[in-house]
Amino acid sequence: MRFDILTLFPGFFDGILGDSILKRASEAGHIEVEVHNLPKWSNDPKHHKVDDRPYGGGPGMVIKPEPVVDSVEELTAEEPAHVILTTPVGRPYSQPVARELSKKERLVIVCGHYEGFDERIREELEPDEISIGDYVMTGGELAAMVILDSVSRLLPGVLGDPGSSVEDSFTEELLDHAHYTRPEEYRGRRVPEVLLSGDHAKIAEWRHLSAVERTRSRRPDIYERYTSGGRAKPASTDRPNGG
């Protein structure tokens, strides 16, 4: 899968692309990532500005239409792509959205900045606008990193164990279950016996109950949607430790 990222600050992406899973995925050819400097498409030959003051007055600067539209059209001239704007006014990002995007062959992500995008960018490109949460950041680079990371890990071959992404939080409409590793006892707290039993059916049942109870206690909004779909609620006596 190919990712093209348009940004005012290409250096932001050096760390995330130079380490860990994304680095290995790139080296193995599972993903291809190109980070582009948006000012390259500026129509200001001297200062390479991509923003200007808003019409009607007010604070801040607005990203001009020409560099964004021109860059996206140039990058997609020979190979179509799904175009994304990272913006607080976009649709909320979630695991289902990540799965949806992982089925695309190519993403072009434009990082928002300043007071936002000139509205004509939306009218010309009709992009998919995405927000990673109800808060405002300095720029859209971090949002682009979130999309890049969460989509990449869903692609075949990116994770060492294909089951890792299947069992993640939100994948099955629930938060992830509690996890334990060695030692068996730490400061008087023991690993639940069922996880040491080798009984895979019982372990699966315990993990499901743990996920349900964790969702109920920490994210009642998700739990409400889960139970409203006709799923049975766990009995209080069955709540596993660490749920």
Q: Are 7 and 141 in contact (CB under 8 A)?
A: yes
Active-site residue flag, 24 = no
**Of these residues, 10, 66, 106, 115, which one is catalytic?**
115
Active-site residue flag, 126 = no
**Of these residues, 88, 122, 219, 234, which one is catalytic?**
88
**Cis (ω within 30 of 0) for the bond into 183?**
yes
DSSP 17-63: HSSHHHHHHHHTTS-EEEEEEGGGG-S-TTT---EEPPTT--SS-EE
118-151 CB burial, b ≥16 within 10 A, e <16:
beebbeebebbbbbbeeeeeebbbebbbbbbebb
Active-site residue flag, 128 = no
**Of these residues, 153, 172, 219, 234, which one is catalytic?**
153
H runs (alpha helix) in 104-199: 119-125, 141-152, 163-166
- For residue 128 the two structure tokens come to 């998919």
Active-site residue flag, 19 = no
**Of these residues, 66, 70, 124, 168, which one is catalytic?**
168
Residues serving a catalytic function are 88, 115, 153, 168
